[in-house]
Structure 1
Amino acid sequence: MMQNRTFGVRMFQAVNGLFLTALMALTLYPFVHLLSVSLSEGAEASRIGLHLWPRSFDWVAYREVLISELTWIGYRNTVLRTVIGTALTAALTAMTAYPLAKAYFPLRRTWIVLIVFTMIFSGGLVPNYLLIKELGLLNSLWALILPGLISPFSLLIVRNFFQSIPVSLEESARIDGASELTVMWRIVLPLSMPVMATIALWTAVGHWNAFFDAILYMTDKNKLVLQVILRKIILEHQMIGQYDGAGLNMRTAQEAVEAATIIISTLPILIVYPFLQKHFVKGVMLGSIKG
């Protein structure tokens, strides 16, 4: 019986390992495919089929993308939007969720109902555009940040996390003379780093990938974000050089330029994610201990 159970465990581990390996390969292949196409030359990049390794190695697609002024304009605007938007969202979400987590906050249930109401109903596309226009925010970075500054869903998640923090910690700090702001910034927020890191990552990825609001509110070429440029390249099949006059080498395949642009636009998120991963792991460990 012991031998059969050991054999069953080994079989499970082997099957589980094969399944996870296959899942990893399926997950990584699109990125490997794009990387291979972006490093291929001419006809090889346009070849239909599996691309696991570039047969005709060439950096020309990356050169054409990186020498384009429009690419760096998009990077600058996207980085500014992501950094400023994520910082403001994290700070204001925490400041809004903290009082809503307190039972003694006046009209707390009323405020929560109003916040949930915004998750179900919205003004619509045309009223939002007219509002941005009347506020004078067209062709402004704030048109991409202010409308979604606080997410009701994220706010409720942070509020629920704040409620799980023992009240005794806050009471001991108040006995020592700490104010509400001191309690929030020095007691509550340090204990809430896992949820705040999660909200920050959600917000950063959302800002980095967003393009529809930029299409609506931005008409100046110098205000375009990277995803709008990427959309023009892929969906409208426009070369970067043809779009901004950079003088693209015509022997560079369109597929290689598209793949190189996608790789360049994806790298920042791939670089930032490992630094936030430890907070997710810490959050899981805290949840297992409390559970």
Structure 2
Amino acid sequence: MSTFKVEDWSQGPQLSELDPLPSPSDLEVQLDLVATALHPVVRSRASGQHYSARQLPHTVGVDGVGRTKDGDLVYFTTFSQSGGSFATQLTVPKANITPIPTALLHESREHAIDLVAENDLSDTNAAVKVAAGVNPAMASYMAIRTRTTALPKGFTALILGATSAAGRAAIHIARHLGAGKVFGLARNQGALDTLGLDRSIVLKDPAAETEFGDLRRVDLVLDFLYGEPVRAVFAALPPFRPIQYVQIGSLAGQSIDLPSALLRGKDVTLRGAGPGAWRFDQLQAELPGLLEAMVGLKGPETRTVRFEMVEEEWGKKEGRERLVFVGNGGK
């Protein structure tokens, strides 16, 4: 079997040829890889820059779609200190797999993707959508499901970084989980206008010049930005209204200068969402619902290449498309 490993944090992943996997235990399942995606967190972990991966050697990847020996498509997670999903065959705990919903398979048959002819398009299309889409959708799904409490019925959500892949997914996820209105903040007015938001807020530079309008009905802030924009958002939030703020990403900065007076003058509860804020057993319990929530979600644009091209593709400049590596399990 083949896998891609990192032996030195300063180097990219390299192909390793290993002996065939031993037979799985009763608590494990062996999978043939169908698809696995190059998420930003995958790059971060593979360079030793993410708090969730500090151990070498490191097998690249955090999740993907595999095929069981019975032919079933399943989503799997390998989010551990050592990784990873970039392997032609994997042995994973049965607790770490989730069947692909029938509705998602049916939906995928309505679309076509550019893949090699021998792959079954209906299965592979579903696998690519799931491999590319679960990670960005997971961010907001886990934030709302595990890091908020007693949101009001028909709550209003404000998404910071709404045009990012995770931000776009958060619009759909928030509505799926009960949001009555969704506001979005980002720099690109044109991109915001395509997202079907109830209100678009254009982030200015400096952020303090942003025209936020009336935020008195906001109940939840999902933050994929952090940095300078968050200080401006806090200044614009109303006093006396209970608001839950969940920090998820750091597209605009790793730190923030937040005056204490802003916190004292707001009824805001601050939480983070990510491994460590939620537990992996919570993630596994939520995955069936997350996959069901992905029905109807457009998901990020994708570019698909063969699994063996990982080293060649790794050093290329990233575009807006989510790169998905396709294995032989799609046959």
What TM-score results when the alignment is normalised by the length of structure 1? 0.24
**Higher percent of residues as helix:** 1
What TM-score results when the alignment is normalised by the length of structure 2? 0.22
